[in-house]
Structures are given as C-alpha cells and as structure tokens.
Amino acid sequence: MQELRRLYASDEAELVVVYGRRRVGKTYLVNHVFDDDEFVFKVTGLHNARLVTQLDNFTKALREYSGDDSWASPSNWMDAFDQLKTYLKQSKSGRKRVLFIDELPWMDTRGSHFMEAFEWFWNSWGCNQRDLMLVICGSATNWIINRLFKQKGGLYNRAGCKMYLKPFTLAEAEQYLTKQGIYLERYEIAQVYMIMGGIPYYLKQLEPRRTLADNIDNCFFRTNGKLWDEFDNLYETLFFNSELYVRIVETLASKRMGLNREEIIALSKLPDNGSTSQAIKDLIKCGFVRAYQYYGRKTKGQTYQLADFYTLFYYRFIKDNYGQDEHFWTHMLDNPKKNAWMGYSFEQLVKEHIEQAKAALGIGSVLSEQSSWFVEKRNLGDDGDGLNGAQIDLLIDRRDRAINLCEMKFYSSEFAIDKNYSLNLRNKIAAFKSATKTRKAIVPTMITTFGVKPNLYSGIVQQEVTLDDLFAF
C-alpha cells in the first residue's frame, strides 16, 4: 500500500504490474489503496472470451467512466486504445489519474494483436503523461513474466514497479483469521495452512461458528461446497494450456521426495521438449513447484517437488472423495493416511518459513543454503560398514562451517525420542559424514510443533525450533 501511494505521488508517468496467483488479493489491494474518484478508467479482462467480446467489454467500461454512451465498439485493439487515449486527453483533472486493467493476460487472445496495441498506447503516449498511473494485474503469472518482463519488445523494462504478491505467512494468516472472528490454536492454524496455504480467499471461507473439521468439510467435501470446484478454476485461469501444467503437478503429487525432469517426463508421458521445460519453470515461478538440489550435486541435478498446499491436499483427499462423504474430514480423525499427509505437509510448511526457522536457530544473518540428501546402503562404501541408507529432508549448509541436519515432526504434543529413533538419527549423521566426507560440524536439529520431550535420548538434539517460532514475522 505504501509503495502504490508513493508511486501515485510521483511527478512521472507510472506503469505498475501487480501479479501473483489466483485468489491472493491483487484486485483487493488495488481497489483498497485508491478511492473510486482516483480511478479514471477500470476494466477487467474476461476469461476464455473471444476478441469481439473482450472489445465490447472494454468499450462498456469506456462508456461508464466517460459518461458518454456514443463510443462504438471497435474492431481491433489499436482502435480500442486509440479511443481510450482520446477519452484520457479530455479527462484531465489536475491530479494523477489511475487506469486499472485487471486480468490483462486474458485480453491477449490468440491472433488479437493485443500486445502490439498495448505497447503502442503506452510507449507512444501514456509514458509521457506525468499525471497518469497505469496499474496492471494478472493471475496468469507465467504470461506476466514471459510476455511482459522477458520479452524484448517495446515494453522491455518499462514497468516502474513489479509487485509480486505472496500468500500470507503463518503469522499473517493468524492475524487475518482473528480479524474474521475465528480464534484457533496455532496447532489448528498450522493444519488450516497445510490445507489452504496462505491464500486470503480460501481463509475467508472459514466460519466462526463451525469447528475446524466441519469447516473443511463445508468447504471441500459437501456437495457444491464453497471450494469444491476450485482446482479446475485455479489452473485454467492461471495457465494457458492448463492440461500440461496439471499433468506435471499430478505426477509430482505422487512422489514425496520429488522428481527430476527426466522422471517427470517418463511418468507423465509428456513430450521431451521445450514446452514441458517451460511449464516446469512457470510452475516454479508461480510457487506451485519447488526446485531444489541434493546436497553435493550441481544445479543440473535439480529435483522438483510439489509445494502448493492446496494442490497437494486436492490430490491426497479431494479428487477421489468429493461428494461421497459430506463429513469426510471429520471422519478422518487419527486416520493413518491423514497422519502421513500432515507429516509431509509440515515439512513443506517449514520450508515455506525457512527464514523464521533460521532466525530461531540464531543463524538468520549467516549465509546458508537449503538442500535435501539421501544415500543407499550400497553406495556408502567401506567407510559405511554397519550403516544403513539414509534420507535427510532438510539440510541447512552454513557459511560458518556448520550444517543443521533437520528432522521435522508434526505432533499434537511434545515429541518423545525413543531408542529406535535415536539410533536412526545417529545412523543418518554417520552415513552423511561417511558419504560426503564433510569436515563441517553437524548440528542435529528438531523442528516440531511443541518441542522435544526431555528424556534419556533427547540429548542427541542440539537445537530446536517449535511451531511458535514459525509464527514470527
């Protein structure tokens, strides 16, 4: 809000791009910052609409804001933007005027030459109007990045502000829910986050009078629930050729540890070409997929992991259960499948809040890298005699010559380390040292909901992070 107001107060023409995934609050932000009388023109692109329909919609907005019903619907975008320019020349008010084009990517239909006309409007005239502020919004993040930011045409580097709206953090989600009159323990908020992520629109669907389980049933599992059809809408509005993107996330949803590019192609049966590679990159840019590498490997060995909480929840539970049991989530109490999902989703929650975790460890200012690691028993060599294969989901490799070996556990109480778990953790440490030959200090670290219960075996843990730590700003 401060940045938008600062740009509004400048004495230059401003082109602002606000982008981010569907339902994250882009339109709400812009409409909340500016008063109605500061908008001189506002229009929203139509999803899956033909060129003639988009142009009619544009003209209706022009008639509304100009108060002139005589504007005729143009036959192309060049004429449409020429009409907009004519109107703006007549509407000077002595203060900065805001143009707001929402869902601009949807206007760029095949063969419409929208971008050429838009570039012409801004570069030949708009950018010279010191009293003009053009705000663009779009949910199709891949279009925004590839068509606006990366293209080398007339709009290259023209955007004075590129504002990417991220989902809420845990702390922000807690504040938002409280504002909505919903009071939950942080353990419950974490569960909500692992289902919905930090998406304001999803969180808004929760009702104060319902229990958490009843809220989830009401949103996702009851017939015609509030979010029952969200998955199709989400991917169709975010990505052109959405089937390609859905195939990729569906493939990744089946593999907890993630897959490399070759494995994605083999399992999804997608073509081994540039379109598949670009789709993976787009999913990363939009926050749906996380790219990471195993410790000790180079970038070309990247692995991709599904990172979007809602998509993961959809494939685990909604896709095959919608409409079959309207109390599905209520009936899932202590279900092993639910417990396995919570364990995996908590790992993703920690990775989304890695900066908070590092701050709690006292290494927030230390340069570090996050990675995962695994080794099979047969690859341990002679130094690994007596050791078993090992998997570590989170390593924090620090510049101060230490590595936090992190174990993440989502429990409803303190996590009690028993003899078997202690032996398994010791095996991981020994296997890691044996296979990597690292000389850095290994710091066994537990990231849990309520901490580690002191007992005979808890001394192996040198550092701890709790759920409360992840709620820090």
pLDDT of residue 52: 97
71: phi then psi, degrees, rounded to nearest 5:
-65, 125
Structure tokens at 22: 């569907």
The pLDDT of residue 156 is above 60: no
Q: In what order do the strands lie in the sheet with 14-19?
A: 39-44, 97-102, 132-138, 14-19, 161-164
Distance set, CA 141 to CA 104, 138, 209 (Å): 11, 7, 36
pLDDT of residue 298: 60
Confidence of residue 299 (pLDDT cuts 50, 70, 90): low
Confidence of residue 146 (pLDDT cuts 50, 70, 90): confident
**Quick one: average pLDDT of 401-409?**
97
pLDDT tens, position by position, 49-97: 999 999 999 999 999 999 999 999 999 999 999 999 999 999 888 899 9
**Quick one: average pLDDT of 182-196?**
97
Structure tokens at 129: 């109007």
CA atoms within 13 A on the CB side of 361: 29
The pLDDT of residue 154 is above 70: no
**Quick one: average pLDDT of 339-347?**
95
**Quick one: average pLDDT of 301-324?**
90
**Helix ranges, 314-387 (H):** 336-352, 354-360
**Quick one: average pLDDT of 185-194?**
98
pLDDT of residue 151: 65
pLDDT of residue 158: 64
**Quick one: average pLDDT of 228-241?**
88
- Which DSSP helix (H) or strand (E) runs through 441? strand 441-448
pLDDT of residue 380: 87
pLDDT of residue 239: 86
**Quick one: average pLDDT of 305-327?**
91
pLDDT tens, position by position, 120-141: 999 999 999 999 999 999 988 8
pLDDT of residue 383: 74
> How would you label 268-278 residue by residue, b for 16+ Cβ within 10 Å and e otherwise?
bebeeeeebee
pLDDT of residue 223: 85
pTM for the structure as a whole: 0.92
* Measured distance CA(307)–CA(378) in Å, rounded: 31
Which has the minimum average pLDDT: 95-104, 150-159, 229-238? 150-159
pLDDT of residue 152: 61
pLDDT tens, position by position, 363-387: 999 999 999 998 998 888 777 788 9
Look at residue 412 and give its three-state secondary structure. Answer: coil
pLDDT of residue 38: 95
Which has the minimum average pLDDT: 156-170, 207-221, 231-245, 311-325? 156-170
pLDDT of residue 153: 59
pLDDT of residue 290: 93
The pLDDT of residue 403 is above 60: yes
CA atoms within 13 A on the CB side of 155: 26
Higher pLDDT, 22 or 29: 29
- Cβ burial, residue 24 (10 Å; 0-12/13-18/19+): buried
- Which DSSP helix (H) or strand (E) runs through 369? strand 368-375
